[in-house]
Structure 1
Amino acid sequence: MQLLPPARRRAAVAAAAVPPELLGVAAFFAPGAAILAYALVKGKGNLKDGLSRLLTDFSQGYFQPDVGGKTIPVAEGELSDLAGDEPLFKALYKWFIESGGVYKLVFGPKAFVVVSDPVVVRHILKENAFNYDKGVLAEILEPIMGKGLIPADLDTWRVRRRAVVPAFHKQYYDAMCSMFGRCTERTIDKLEALLQQSGGSPVTVNMETEFLNLGLDIIGLGVFNYDFGSITSESPVIKAVYGVLKEAEHRSTFYIPYWNVPLLRAIVPRQRAFAADMAVIDATLDGLITNAKETRSEDDFEALQARDYSQVKDPSLLRFLVDMRGEDATNKQLRDDLMTMLIAGHETTAAVLTWALFSVAQSPEVEARLLGEIDSVVGDRAPGIDDIKAMPYLRATLAESLRMYPQPPLLIRRSLEPDTLPAGLGGDPKGYPIGKGADLFISVWNLHRSPHLWKDPDTFRPERFEEVFTNPAYGDTWAGYQPEAGRGALYPNEVASDFAFIPFGGGARKCIGDQFALFEATVAFAMLLRRFTFRLAATPQEIGMATGATIHTANGMMVSVARRQGAPAGAREAAERPVAAV
């Protein structure tokens, strides 16, 4: 027998000494160890990133349907980029600067096309709008909003839009502006009471919370004639509304839709709480709908629009929909419509006011010009529609808040049929073919802060909306921002900016509540700035940013509030009539 070399002889002896069970265990764990080692290599030392890339490679090959987009650049992002302290839209902006106006983001079993170019956005929202639905967003919101306008399929959306749009007319807005003023007086009274308790010294207030309360009261009264009274009290309905809002935000940011699994819905505490909150809200809305139908006064919508809303006990949107002749929506559809407006119209306007105050409090020149305009137009009374139109700088300030902090920062779409996205700036001249089922993120944050579309995009400057801006690199594919193109509109919009500024979306499925939101925010902001001086009580870094359905603060908008020097104590024309409510 030939002798083995010493090294091999030692290895053979060692192997013979290992029990067979341990060899089996080693064989069992070896593939896993190899996968982990390979993941470390793929992730460049970051195990989570490596495992994410392995999952992506596997799932893209076996589970993900082919949705085209093979020529679209893939962002070199890592899972760890999304797991840090920065909100998602910040990471999307970084990859936009690196990868261009159209790129693909791939994590795990899903791939998203991220769009940050106005030419491509115009194609999706306007030129080929009916080839896209709300996709992932509809799946998230359907359990909450049902077939309301936001998540509705195209067929339902067409019917409901024709029914709802006539309700937003001048007489309705006149009545709403008066109600906006009365609700804002509640917030003013609350701040005045805090200042009295402090002996007139400045008080620190979380104004984000106050704007949320104000927004909830306004939506309740304006949409279904229900007075939440959230500025001064708290009720089970208010708690339920905020619980549903938090769950909507959770579902919009959580990757795996575990709530679709019946067993998990039954055992996960937050899902049980969500079901209980929905039951409270549904019972409230059902009662309001039943009451409205029992007191129906049917008429043509022209006659409804001609009503003297200043003398109507219930000037709500629900009353209009119930009284409109030929409108035979089921209780379920009306409930879905109301729930959609409650969720969509509450947090968004509160966020606009929060970030407008954040910006103005740090911009003395803007604040001085605003106060001059407010003092000269309305003094200390609640603004009406004509007053709002006479305060263009205030409206531009709110628009600038929406540019820098868009609500929402992302729009979600899914292609219903194959399409070819245009190239945009610096893109493939042939465009980008995508297939049926492709999911797209329209990054409103990227559009609104793009250095290709705006001068000094990270500077808060309402004056920009009076200035022409073009980019010759686009040639004739993007018209630039042209103030004259939007002259006469309530706010700068997608027409004036050729889809570089889309605070309320654009095209056929543009938000129908845009004017309601701008009227509401203008009235509230004018009345509060006229009465009080606001200064940040924390640094911008301490306030922070977080995101869900909207951009909100990470730690609250803590503000030092003082009576404005020289402000009158109180002509309160808006408070003479009580707020109408069921």
Structure 2
Amino acid sequence: MGKGLIPADLDTWKQRRRVIAPGFHASYLEAMIKVFTTCSERTVSKFHKLLETAESNNEWKSIELDLEAEFSSLALDIIGLGVFNYDFGSVTKESPVIKAVYGTLFEAEHRSTFYIPYWKIPLASWIVPRQRKFQSDLKIINSCLDGLIRNAKESRQETDVEKLQQRDYLNLKDASLLRFLVDMRGADVDDRQLRDDLMTMLIAGHETTAAVLTWACFLLAQNTSKMKKAQAEVDSVLGDGRPTLESLKNLQYIRLIVIEALRLYPQPPLLIRRSLKSDVLPGGYKGAKDGYAIPAGTDLFISVYNLHRSPYFWDSPHEFEPERFLVQRKNEEIEGWAGFDPSRSPGALYPNEIMSDFAFLPFGGGPRKCVGDQFALMESTVALAMLLQNFDVELKGNPESVELVTGATIHTKNGLWCRLRKRSHSHH
């Protein structure tokens, strides 16, 4: 990711964040809902075709699918179109670029969890076959991104941020973030930095969203009554139609399911922050009364997973209860925690760290909070709504057979194998 937002040093981060954050404005997000529905539609019709084939061949009314793999393709297509107007088309085909993306993700996970950074040893990248393959994967992605950057720059139309945000995004041929970044006046940025920005967003926005959808389905499949409740909402809000920004606002239960999946399976499950100057961390509940002295340059790990499942902040923390976010919650015992209060963030479509006074941190918090949070949440809501609109989902094996693997995200060891059936639409 080079000097993309996540690994960037403070100076680079300040400069790039200022340029990128305005790109996620309201009319861009609204235009993105079109991308979300178009891509989800492809996935849904792929499933319908598989079901039709199964029925005509052997009378089976259900198909077995690894939903994790399907969501991974869907999320890749969405991030490609939304961020740099490139259609991976991975839901329907395989290509060298798609293979390269998965190869790179696989290597990134390997590096984040391996004991010795052997790839830093001189020549390792040429001698170790795994590293050679990684170099060639990277080359494929880079040349793809370079081409997109070149095209965007050749058709550059320089304007001010305000003008950029007022563009008619719903009717633009190319409403991507790259278009916005290249057209922004005064943000003359070298191609290397743009590539790092795009690569960071590709990696950060792909697997994370796929994981949210995977665990949302895992949880729903074990809670049939909640799945039925979700489907009833989808039927009444959407009928046979596609989600829009307006209907998204009415899909309250679906939005809460996404949030609850993020509480139980935060992506990533761990946040890292580095102290810029020496500080004293508060002791916290049952911690040292005087707090903890932290020297400058200390790396702090925040276990979001444990925070989200802490019995101090959540009632029945391991239970899947999307409804929990509708009520205020206080715990007087915990000094310094203001409790969970939806009114703290009026108008927010999704519960966030402000409402929960930082007991809920699926996108981090503070200045370096995830810049694409609304994009990710809306994308997940649209995809989940359209899946439930069309299909009944059940787990193929028992829940215990789904093994967790934690790397940069929480994913499964062997996929999320589910049985899908076409819904008999009673509301037609």
The TM-score with structure 1 as length reference comes to 0.72
Unmatched runs of 5 consecutive residues or more in structure 1: 1-144, 570-582
Indicate whether 1:524 and 2:383 are aligned.
yes
Residues in 1 aligned to 2:320 and 2:18: alpha-carbon distance in whole angstroms: 37
CA contact 1:530–1:567 (8 Å) conserved in 2: no
Task: Give a deviation string over 1:514-566, Cα, whole Å, max 9, x none.
Answer: 00001101111111100000000011121111011100011110000000111
- 1:338-487 counterparts in 2 under 5 A? 338-475=198-335, 477-487=336-346
Residues in 2 aligned to 1:325 and 1:217: alpha-carbon distance in whole angstroms: 29
Residues in 1 aligned to 2:296 and 2:416: alpha-carbon distance in whole angstroms: 43
Q: 2:352 maps to which residue? A: 493
Identity of aligned residues (%): 59
SS for the counterpart of 1:508 is: coil
| Structure 2 letter corresponding to 1:291 | N
Residues in 2 aligned to 1:400 and 1:311: alpha-carbon distance in whole angstroms: 34
- 1:47-126 counterparts in 2 under 5 A? none
Question: Which of residues 185, 198, 207 is equivalent to 2:54?
Answer: 198
- 1:143-292 counterparts in 2 under 5 A? 145-199=1-55, 201-292=61-152
1:367 positional shift: 1.2
| Structure 1 letter corresponding to 2:64 | T
CA contact 1:494–1:506 (8 Å) conserved in 2: yes
The TM-score with structure 2 as length reference comes to 0.97
CA contact 1:381–1:527 (8 Å) conserved in 2: no
Residues in 1 aligned to 2:43 and 2:295: alpha-carbon distance in whole angstroms: 50
Task: Give a deviation string over 1:65-87, Cα, whole Å, max 9, x none.
Answer: xxxxxxxxxxxxxxxxxxxxxxx
1:311 positional shift: 2.0
Residues in 2 aligned to 1:271 and 1:288: alpha-carbon distance in whole angstroms: 26
Q: 1:6 maps to which residue? A: none
Question: Which of residues 533, 536, 544 is equivalent to 2:403?
Answer: 544
Residues in 1 aligned to 2:4 and 2:25: alpha-carbon distance in whole angstroms: 20
Q: After the TM superposition, list the runs of 4 or more consecutive aligned residues in structure 1 that deviate by more than 3 angstroms.
A: none
Question: Which is greater in Rg?
Answer: 1
- 1:552-567 counterparts in 2 under 5 A? 552-566=411-425
| Structure 2 letter corresponding to 1:154 | L
Residues in 1 aligned to 2:426 and 2:75: alpha-carbon distance in whole angstroms: 25
| Structure 2 letter corresponding to 1:231 | V
Q: 1:317 maps to which residue? A: 177
Residues in 2 aligned to 1:439 and 1:307: alpha-carbon distance in whole angstroms: 42
Question: Which of residues 384, 392, 396 is equivalent to 1:533?
Answer: 392
CA contact 2:212–2:261 (8 Å) conserved in 1: yes
Task: Give a deviation string over 1:80-118, Cα, whole Å, max 9, x none.
Answer: xxxxxxxxxxxxxxxxxxxxxxxxxxxxxxxxxxxxxxx
1:567 positional shift: 6.4
| Structure 2 letter corresponding to 1:250 | H
CA contact 1:167–1:317 (8 Å) conserved in 2: yes
CA RMSD of aligned residues (A): 1.3
CA contact 2:231–2:389 (8 Å) conserved in 1: yes
Larger mean Cα displacement after TM superposition, 238-247 or 162-171: 162-171
SS for the counterpart of 2:355 is: helix
CA contact 1:223–1:318 (8 Å) conserved in 2: yes
Larger mean Cα displacement after TM superposition, 273-282 or 434-443: 434-443
Count of residue pairs brought into register by the alignment: 424
CA contact 1:371–1:529 (8 Å) conserved in 2: yes
